[in-house]
Structure 1
Amino acid sequence: MSSIILKPKLTELYTLNEFILNELQEENLHVNLIVEEVFVNIIKYSKADFIKVNVEYENETLIMKFIDNGIEFNPLLKEKHDLPKDIDEAQIGGLGIFLTKQISDELYYNYIDGENHLKIIKKVE
């Protein structure tokens, strides 16, 4: 398992993507989307001082664990987002958690010792 600790700043997203790409060895659109949505949500809403990401890749399975010391938030309890009927009804925001749930294979959340722990499992072929 590899780990990286980042500041909760948008400029760190590039560093995180490079770190994960180093594990995977090739780009994956679904992984990029998951990473961006989770990381940006932590930055925008958690008020965390740090974001730690653990990554493990084995047998075409990527396991990512996002840990932050921000406000407790379980994204798995977030109600299903209503999708717009057409593009004119679409609003910016609110789909990140929904998309992450849809394209991840497994999601787990725990709040331990003042830290959010979000574990994401994604099959990568």
Structure 2
Amino acid sequence: MAEYLVAPLEEPGWALEVDDFAEALERRWPGVRIGRGSVEGSTMALEALVPLEPAPRELGVALSGTRQAVSLDPADAESAAEFAQWMGSLLPGRGLHLIEPGSYRTIELTAAISAEEILAALRAGR
């Protein structure tokens, strides 16, 4: 498992609404468990655990306090690619990238990119 980040590369002029983001997560992953500012000492606006198949795998999702970036930890390449594709389709044209902090590799999330293309790009860099 690794950590990934979905964020713009430059300071954006927008921020996600916490309740809207939570509702979008619940529509996409009905079994998601969400906490809004619930972890003491955390600067995150929202933290969630997304259930993955096969169980008991989960994707950790955290919306930053600035509401402009989402960290994925724990995450594997497949779950990061799926989440990143979803975020890119949720927020088209917002300059989002999937960032692999350990390698500083970035993949631009366009409206047309598929999870398979993202995954292939992640694997190509290894």
Bigger helix share? 1
* Larger Rg over CA atoms: 1
